[in-house]
Structure 1
């Protein structure tokens, strides 16, 4: 059995800690100190990276120095010992792990889908967020839309492990983008209560994102209408609607 726990870091990052027996892996360790504390003296077996931003990689050198462990991730990142690319598969914690290239937030961004007995666990870094998506620092709207579409095609019970606790802010935007969506209203109420208990709103699921994430709902008539009010044409493509939503969210 695999146990997956969030390790809080910085203001709103989550470093995901995967454990099966005596094996311990972490995803996107931007800071080494909370990882070492969470291990409680255990040895780190390996590191998984989704992209090169420092808040996801800043702890790698210190962890490798102490634990001499392998680093799996995009080949663009210094210190990666096992470069990963779209379509790659490897064994992680004695389970199959699949790699998806998901450019948009960065050009080198990947997502990792771990196939376990209880379903798929998706580690998507800053591409897909709970009720949102990452900013386009390097890629284009078309690239990010395609990346999100790829992830949204996974089974609806796929668990989604994002790298930041942005859920409430994203749901507030989602409420503006699709104010008639009752699923968004219910999710915002539920997740506010979760945060009031100082608990993470993650993992999410693909099914929940399909119901409440405006960036996955560009075909919604209400979202199309809201996008038109922010600059798109009535016959705008899904990519154009996505681009308008992303620009609106950047300034929300």
Structure 2
């Protein structure tokens, strides 16, 4: 089975900062990590490979430093990694990103399954995975919490708010997975050493059969008008009294004065 996993290098959410002048994320000097949901996708692909045989290829679209995310996935056990990087891809929204990644999957060829994390923690759109499937004309199943493959048949458990949905489909298929599907393995020392020695190919726009007008900022209909940090909430008042009865009375008085009761 040939499996492609799409991953993204994202800013560590505890370190996200916004430029007040441009209203854009400040990425310089901010530590980056592999999107947590994508690690679950890698783990799901590795378990399928161990059960069914085959190969796992991890791809990402991003700047040259995104190779570090790919190396971490290689250290986990992925067989191959591929970086899609070109200035022409800069400023891409989810539509342009998914278009480019779908073109890369076509170029790889003979892919049976694509696995993505449910969403990226920096954008939280959950759009790229399903859009890749649309570009390829593949079946897609989102929010997957369990995968079982038997020959060309794929049986899936899809988590919903009110319960679980059991879905059966055929290969090829694109899946987006939840964190509940597994616990990602840690990279081994041997795997890390092997990943550091491995050459990661870089594909540019010239390597893909793509329309330049559908790449990057040109191919992105989404426009971000403003990004801002929500104002910090004002801390509530702590009511102190000699007894619970007195505290309740003071609270009732303050709520009445504020016309909340």
TM range (shorter): under 0.3
Larger Rg: 2
Q: Higher relative contact order by CA 8 Å / sep ≥ 6: 1 or 2?
A: 2
Length-normalised TM-score, structure 2: 0.25
Length-normalised TM-score, structure 1: 0.26
